[in-house]
Amino acid sequence: MRSRPFLFRLGLAALGMLAFCLIAGIGAGWWIRTWPERFEKALGKSRAHRLTLGYARLLDALYPQDSDGDGISDLVEILLHKDPRNPGFHPNVRVRQDLGLVLTNPHRWPNGILWPRVPVQLGKPRRVYGWVGLNEEGGVFVPGMRLALEAPPGTFLGLPGGEISHAKLLVPVASNGAVVFEVITTIDRGPTHDGEIRAFHGFSHESAGSIALVVESGLPSFPAVATEIQSDDPERNELLVRSHHVGGSEYEHVVRVTWPEAVWSGVGPQGSILVEVTSDENGEDWIPIERCQSHIESCTYAYRSTTLPTRSRGPVRFRVVPMESSSPDP
């Protein structure tokens, strides 16, 4: 009998904790929806995006109803000030290749992050791992969400293990935004314009960005050395300030990547190199992130890992590949 008051008090404590969590959750959602600018200013752009996405996932798990069939649940659309009953008025989505990193070069691109390209060999299939996001951290989608892809001339698309064709491809989007497809290209369009795969929302057909291709030169690669710029180095703070508007204050690493001068022996005086990075567990899937000219011997990058890896991750490594090119990046 004496155990009953204890169990009663324990139950009240559990109910109190549950009520507190519900009130805190509702309050957080109200803050995110009512004052998104203050929320972002208080927490920082990148952290605010991650918390907003986490809250959206919670709402999606509690009530995954999608009244208008646009692939995004009603509560998520309400949170983001969209119309859950209008398939043409939904949050903007963007597709990008899954690099496993959010990465920028503060010296060359202080106004944004680097968008990696897909390296392809002429006539050979290449599997592309990407994800569709509501922001740079990813998205949350209901079953049935699709992404429509259009290939440039001479390029063909297909699902893994399926037929490859030039027709528009509908790619299933996983709940966390992950997408997988295959690409084959038969045309080398030149050193700086190898074509883009255009993406559209599968229901509203609104633009969802693009994924750029680059035809591999076939020249041998050179390993690059990434040296961490320490927190007590004034240059690190300067670089993070330059990248602040894309969450620079929350980047995990700032590195100076260097390579041997012999890299330039494979190209002419007006040549260029591709800087590539991998975070693949086996170190085999190298992704081009930037083209460099003028025989430079180093670049500086700030990066952090993303929260939605589609594959197993390993250490971040860099290398460079000579390109027979004479034109700068567009």
Question: Any idea what the Cα angle at residue 78 is, between residues 202 and 37, rounded to 5°?
Answer: 105
DSSP output for 38-64: HHHHHH-HHHHHHHHHHHHHHHHHH--
Scanning the structure block, which residue is given the tokens 């507190």?
Answer: 20
Residue 14's pLDDT is: 67
The Cα–Cα gap between 271 and 223 comes to 18
* Residue numbers of the chain with a pLDDT score lower than 70: 1-4, 6-53, 55, 59, 63, 109-112, 135-139, 188-194, 241-250, 266, 268-270, 283, 294, 306-312, 324-330
Residue 172's pLDDT is: 93
Residue 219's pLDDT is: 79
Residue 95's pLDDT is: 87
Residue 140's pLDDT is: 77
244 Cβ partners below 8 Å, 6+ apart? none
> Burial of 269 by CB count in 10 Å (0-12 exposed, 13-18 middle, 19+ buried)?
exposed
Residue 134's pLDDT is: 74
* R_g of the chain computed on alpha carbons: 23
Strand arrangement, sheet containing 126-133: 94-97, 126-133, 178-185, 155-158
pTM of the full structure: 0.73
Taking only the tens place, the pLDDT of each residue in 64-108 is 778 777 888 877 777 777 777 887 787 788 888 877 777 888 777
- Of 199, 200, 205, the closest CA to residue 183 belongs to 199
